[in-house]
Chains A and B, each alone.
Chain A
Amino acid sequence: MATNLSSGALQAGREFRTDHESFLQHRSFRWLKLSSLLMLVCIAAYFLIDVEPRPNGGTWVGYTLGTIGAGLIVWLSLLGFRKRAITEGGWSLKAWTSAHVYLGLSLIVIATLHTGFQLGWNVHTLAYALMMLVIVSGIVGIWFYSTIPAELSLNRREMTQRQMLEGLKALDRQLNEAAQPLPRDQADTVLAALGDSPFSAGFWRRTFNYYPGCKTTRAIAVFDDVPASDKDAKRVQRLLMRRKGQLERIRRHMKLKALLESWLFVHVPATLALIAALAAHIVSVFFYW
């Protein structure tokens, strides 16, 4: 219902308004297109150029593919610097991530063609295997990054991590008071449940959301046999159930957060190992010319 003549402002000056699209769709899949083109060129070169005696890393096509591959590996690993070096300029980390993903995937084709399908038990194949490990972990990462954030946001129910923990603390205080009139043995199970911090679990438990000895679950079971007439005990049981609900939410949260990081535990060390193996591969190839 309105004309908007004075907001011409929005089209002028330094323009920062960002497109609302993910790193995968960045600029209508620009990097997917570029990397597909690169792969097509490499495949065409491999099959159309007849090298003697057979396709191999040592032919000129092989060297070219190897150089492109090695260059890409070095450039891709520089994302770690780019992400942390907040310099001035028109770069966008989203574009870098997008390029990282699609160019990284193109390495599957480039490096495989570079091998000429000659694999064996040697440092060269080690470098290839490490690279594939990095790529596979990267694919897992893409999958996690594209599915988990929505799940995480849903599970959080518009709360922050801190608010979730505060909710748990509030329940704990209520439980602590509600458990005062209970007999000793029941009170002890409640206290044991209260001592159950969501952070005591290690990485694996967190990642697989596996808590076999959950003291809160156990405490709830203790109150199952209590007659319904025991109001105090039943109230404590209800509170314990709420605590369990909250605890499960936090645990799911931690699981998702752990998953978001987990793949990097493979991706990054494997990249370092890959660079070392790649260096060995290049040095040995030139040394034993």
Chain B
Amino acid sequence: MSAAGRAAALGIPHVLLEKTDHLSDTIYKYQKGKHVMATPNQLILRSDHEFDAGKREQILEKWVGRTDELKINVKYNAEVKAIRGTGPAIPGSVQKIVMRRRGKPDEVQEIQRHEPPYEIELTSGETIIAETVILAIGTQGNPTLVTAPGGDLPHVTYQLDDPTEVLDEHIVVVGVGDAGIENARGLAEDPAQRNVVSILNRKPKSTNVRESFANAKEPNAKALIEDDAEGKLTIRYESEIKQVEEGWVTLSTRDGEERIKCDRVIARIGSAPPRTFVEQCGIEFTSDDRQAYPTLSPVFESTAPGIFVIGALAGYPLIKHCMNQGYDVVEFINGNTELKPADEPLLVETFAGLPHNKSVEDWLAHLKANVSILHDMSTLQLREFMLDSDMRAYAAGETIFEKSAPGSSLFAIVEGSVSVRIDKNDPTKTVTIPQGSIFGEVGLISGRRRSATVVAAEQTICVEISRNAALKLMSQVPPAKREIERISTERQLLQMFGSGLTAEDLSEVMATAKFKTIPAGTEIITEGDRGKNIFVIRSGSMTVEKNIGGKPVFLSYLPAGSYVGEMALIDDLPRSATVRAAIKSDVIELDGEAFQRVLQAKPALFASARKEMEVRRRTNEMIESRKENFSTIVQLYSEQADFLVSQGIGEATDVLLIDETLCVGCDNCEKACADSHDGLSRLDREAGLTFAHLHVPTSCRHCEHPHCMADCPPNALHRGPDGEVSIDETCIGCGNCQRNCPYGVIRMDARPPKKPSLLAWMFLGKGPGPGEASKLWRKKNSQGDQVKKAIKCDMCTGIEGGPSCVRACPTGAAIRVSPDVFLSVTNMVDEG
């Protein structure tokens, strides 16, 4: 829309193809009255359309008005089916599309690219000829359609805007993912609407919710089952649509066909990502990765000449970015090569205060030339990349970061060099990292704290790259990814084995390194096997178990950054325990033979490895010797450890546990949480599972690789200085993090009004008292707009004294633990 607006303003012939009968479908589909945010705030908007944070309705109204004013040529209900070049074939330009098929070999389709003009075929059969095409279709894709006969009838729909507007209808919802469940429950919630709702589930009924509702979140599925039991709606198991007619549908069920009344079908059976369509247009993606973006030139042009890709599909999910790009791309097409991107002032600020006094462009060129991981970036990518990064200048001897300091950013040295202190007791023992290389990459991969102190060796300029920007860089620029991986593996090994090892010593081992991703629960080492390879855990975590008296006994927990498997190598015995992945983990497998040669060449390393091994052997022996009198305790704690790992402790860095033998149920932890954070509690004490009196409440585990951080459009989620994962005020309330959290610990709510003071409550009875105020009270006393934002535990960051939940527990039932300390067998046996 922004692109069309620019084209209209410039008087370029254009047509805006809109799939639906209205503009801006994504925002149109937001729920009514939703507050739309305009982040990043510091970015200047450059578009012929106005855009500011506000309510959905206001924004849409403004845009529609402006579209009319600009006389944009919009073609509604125009869904594009295919885009084909009609010019001569471009020699040597062939698009290869690899189709993955389950259980079968991949199928490769080759498409010869043709030059523009492009013929755009619409689903209506109409065709449009265009010199250039701007794709701004987002990543949502098209919903999977109902294929049964009658599936094209108008009352078969694929979304529901406002469930409260549907009255007196017989509705069939197809699909029991979260979307389907939410729609069905919304329609049936208020009996006054008199809707008769059925929801179809292909799977059979089962007592295990996970089985019958594999694609839905558990609380959603449970709520649906409850509604079914209360008679609010009907879940039809093992049912599918066979035929749709006006007013009726025929279902095929386990017991044969059934014809039921139906005024509306809502199909929520997933959607196909638009990648296939995009590839068919001749546009190449950077990799096979599901997260990959199309390969683009500095002016957003794809590998198909004349087709430009902008917006979420190009990797920029925020509205403001998209609008700016629409504007810019039309300017480029119009031949305006002088255009400075909208981010220019921001970049000027980034580079301000540095020595040399260079211009932004010079700096960018300088970065590209001097930093190895940035070599292969386009200028456009680099600009975008620099928005999320910072330039730092250090004097010689200045500390860049300390060992054990938190931080997950990556540093690249533009000028100068740094030294890494490898021995904390002896500051003279250092390793130098030269210009052009990177450091700090350990935090990038494992999300854990800094492993060594780094000091500037001379006058040094670095780029500090945020974790997100670095991850994006790795997914967009494959050579950068390889380079970072190579450096980080080498460093991890050197650091782990220590003992004066150099990169040259390890080169043979490095050559044998295999990168593997291990699914949760898979064994990498099996007790009794004769393997000799060594495994280094790069991300995730592992559990070590030993078979004692026919039962697996939990020995220890290995966090990312540990290595395992060297015992067999040193004493040449079969594997003494089984190691399996607690969560999906990345490991490096090193060849045992090659490693053995390194050990032989380096007696110091051999000695230290031997010492480590002795410690472990003693633990094993301790368990072995105590198994008679401790067998029940050891077994109980083994089971408890398994339970905790299944509850996500394996990926946690800091977790709240409640000892039920001490908990009196006063809920003071919840109240304290609410009173420490704007009056909303971020933990639910009672919910969550319990095993052997140990309760895991619904509260953030501060995962090592936070699921919530995976898809945050404004990048509002951060790992803070103490390892806590928190949300900052740029949250736009989209709810992605809430959906992505497997533990259900993020809630969306509006900040409640301020409560009267504690004394006013105690002596005058004013206000709702300590803890989270009731919904009713919050509603009654609310002022102004209720903007719902995501809230979660931030480990009381910035609050002196630490997490309030633990401080406020009167009996000592609430404890915060870190898994590698808590999940050690010695700790468990001692506690038992």
Contacts and interface: CB of A to CB of B under 8 A. Distances in A.
Nearest to A21: B812
A1 B404 CA distance: 23
Interface string B229-271: 1000000000000000000000000000000000000000000
B220 interface: no
A153 B576 CA distance: 37
20 contacts: A1-B558, A1-B577, A2-B544, A6-B559, A9-B448, A9-B723, A10-B818, A12-B403, A13-B449, A16-B803, A17-B821, A23-B811, A26-B812, A86-B675, A93-B668, A149-B811, A153-B695, A158-B689, A160-B686, A173-B229
A20 B668 contact: no
A144 B813 CA distance: 15
A44 interface: no
A12 B810 contact: no
Contacts of B668: 83, 93
B816 A3 contact: no
Nearest to B222: A166
Contacts of A1: 544, 555-556, 558, 564-565, 567, 576-577, 579, 616
Nearest to B537: A2
A11 B769 CA distance: 38
Contact of B821 (A10, A26, A166): A10
Contact of A13 (B406, B544, B558): B406
Which of under 10, 10 to 19, 20 to 34, or 35 or more describes the interface residues of A?
35 or more
A150 B811 contact: no
B800 A88 contact: yes
Given A86-B675, A160-B687, A2 B556 contact: yes
Contacts of A2: 542, 544, 556, 558, 562-564, 616
B581 interface: no
Interface string A143-161: 0010011101100101011
Of listed B449, B661, B814, B815, residue having the most chain A CB within 10 A = B661
A148 B686 CA distance: 17
Interface in A1-52: 1-14, 16-23, 26
Contact of B404 (A13, A86, A90, A91): A13
Interface of B: 226, 229, 403-406, 442, 446, 448-449, 451, 495-496, 498, 542, 544, 555-556, 558-565, 567, 576-577, 579, 612, 616, 654, 659-665, 668, 671-672, 675-676, 686-687, 689-691, 693, 695, 721-723, 758, 762, 769-770, 795, 799-804, 806-818, 820-821, 831
A257 interface: yes
For the complex of A and B, 4 pairs with smallest distance between CB atoms:
A6-B561, A9-B449, A12-B404, A153-B660
Nearest to B761: A84
B676 A86 contact: yes
Interface of A: 1-14, 16-23, 26, 81, 83-86, 88-94, 96-97, 145, 148-150, 152-153, 156, 158, 160-162, 166, 169-170, 173, 257, 260
B831 A7 contact: no
A94 B812 contact: yes
A17 B818 contact: yes
A267 B544 CA distance: 50
A149 B810 CA distance: 13
A56 to B, nearest CB: 37
B799 A88 contact: yes
A18 B815 contact: yes
B802 A16 contact: yes
Given A6-B496, A20-B812, 10 more contacts: A2-B563, A4-B562, A9-B449, A13-B723, A23-B662, A81-B762, A86-B808, A150-B660, A161-B686, A170-B229
Contacts of B722: 13-14
B563 A83 contact: no
A273 to B, nearest CB: 17
A102 B561 CA distance: 46
Contact of A94 (B555, B558, B672, B810): B810
Given A1-B616, A160-B686, A16 B806 contact: yes
A265 to B, nearest CB: 15
Contact of B661 (A3, A149, A257): A149
A222 B110 CA distance: 78
B451 A150 contact: no
Contacts of B226: 166
A4 B808 contact: no
Nearest to A100: B810
Contact of A81 (B405, B565, B672, B758): B758
A92 B811 contact: no
A111 B690 CA distance: 44
B664 A148 contact: yes
B801 A149 contact: no
Contacts of B769: 84
A88 B818 contact: no
Nearest to A96: B810
A30 to B, nearest CB: 13
A3 B563 contact: yes
Among A19, A85, A93, A161: residue with most chain B CB under 10 A: A93
**Residue of B560, B801, B820 with highest tally of chain A CB at under 10 A:** B801
